[in-house]
Structure 1
């Protein structure tokens, strides 16, 4: 039986996208012969597709006429509706639903210049709770958010992120061996769950939001605070399950 992914195939479109993805990984471009070889297709069908991509200005042909590379058109199109805005627009209703069901606040952060920046947040629905303001800088090293992001990166990307890290005010230093062990546990369990290193009585739940390459492109975090009065709200395990559901809905495969 035909799989769901193959049901509505458009071979010409697939071919064009294959060329774009191939050229995206080649900063100096490729010749037509190199593209033909890499894609395993006939020279005639590659020639026609390349000419259309050049005509629509998605691909540039060198002055000599023998090398093709990506133009900036895809970049320009993507920035007409900034990716962060799209991510926040998708995240906000999921975060609002989580806060209502879990009776806890939550925030969404992305990697930014060696640490994390909070780009969306939803307060707890009750009269009290803990929340992180928009734009706040969150440490890459001693927070659940940072650990969830670092754990799901390629080794090279993780090293680059750590090299760019600058300690924030109040940051608790962690030895690299200890950090590596923490990250391994996050990879095993799929989330960070532990006592906050910034505030007493808070249990941080941090779950990565995954991109198409199985790296964390963002992280959802809920600083869980357990009530001790007569009101009985969702417990920690229920909050974890609800935050996982929100992260799956926000991820690329959600």
Structure 2
């Protein structure tokens, strides 16, 4: 196609929006409207409406009043495409082995547009187990999966995830110094163990699947229940089984995935 043909099919508004997204993706801490205009060598007025639309559609958010930064919406859209299917294809055989070894169900969770989302589920091999439907959107603050996804991210990414989860309210009383300290503890020991906030008697055991950059691309969770009259590993052994499984999965996916895949 000639340069003349390229010009004929140009879409200036689309180009402008993509320029903004690509620019914001390359900086930390966001940019003001004037800074965006300067870096793209345009007039600030050219970007007012485009930035307004990108904010309303959830691709960009305002921080510190007058600065603009990318949300995780593009990451969420990417998760719905080939990378997430590839991740599931790697994970399912290992999840099946984990279920057989632990005698417990397990699920694989990623962060998508404000919430952790279940992308794969493996039933327990026996009669009893806790399962959750694939596609379910679960809590960020009150689940083991949510804690792990937050714990194994940079401070900036964590703040963006929380902001996207909270939405227009802009505040959440659960983001306390104690909660942030717990995330640090999870990162140090490598897993989360917490009573389920949804089902009595269930202990959520969660560990991260890490990308090449060392950040969590997914969380693998066993909703552990104590089985009576059925031989099954105890919690400590189950945690070890989960950690071994996520280590294998991280090795398999680390070369092809990062937190921004």
Category of TM-score, reference length = shorter chain: 0.5 to 0.7
Q: Which runs of 5+ in 1 are unaligned?
A: 1-25, 29-77
Number of aligned residues: 174
Q: Does 1:138 align with 2:138?
A: yes
Q: State how far apart, in whole Å, the 2-side matches of 1:144 and 1:202 are.
A: 11
1:27, distance to aligned residue in structure 2 (A): 4.9
Report SS of the residue matched to 1:139. coil
Task: Kindly state the Cα deviation for residue 235 of structure 1 after the two structures are TM-superposed.
Answer: 0.9
Q: For 1:82 and 1:232, how far apart are their aligned partners in 2?
A: 39
TM-score, with length taken from structure 2: 0.62
1:162-177 paired onto structure 2 within 5 Å:
162-166=162-166, 174-177=174-177
TM-score with structure 1 setting the length: 0.64
CA-to-aligned-CA distance 1:169-189 (integer Å, 9 cap, x gap): xxx962422210110110111
RMSD (Å), alpha carbons: 2.3
Which residue pairs with 1:156 in the alignment? 156
Pick closer, same or farther for the CA change 1:173–1:234 going to 2, 3 Å: farther
The DSSP-based 3-state class of the residue aligned with 2:194 is: strand
> What corresponds to 2:240 in structure 1?
241
Q: Distance in 2 between matches of 1:174 and 1:160?
A: 15
**Larger-Rg structure:** 1
Paired with 2:237 and 2:132, the residues of 1 have a C-alpha distance of: 21
Which SS does the other structure have where 2:92 is aligned? helix
Per the alignment, residue 187 of structure 1 pairs with 187
Query: In the alignment, which residue of structure 1 is the partner of 2:211?
Result: 211
Q: 1:115 touches 1:166 (CA, 8 Å); kept in 2?
A: no
Q: 1:232 Cα deviation (Å)?
A: 2.4
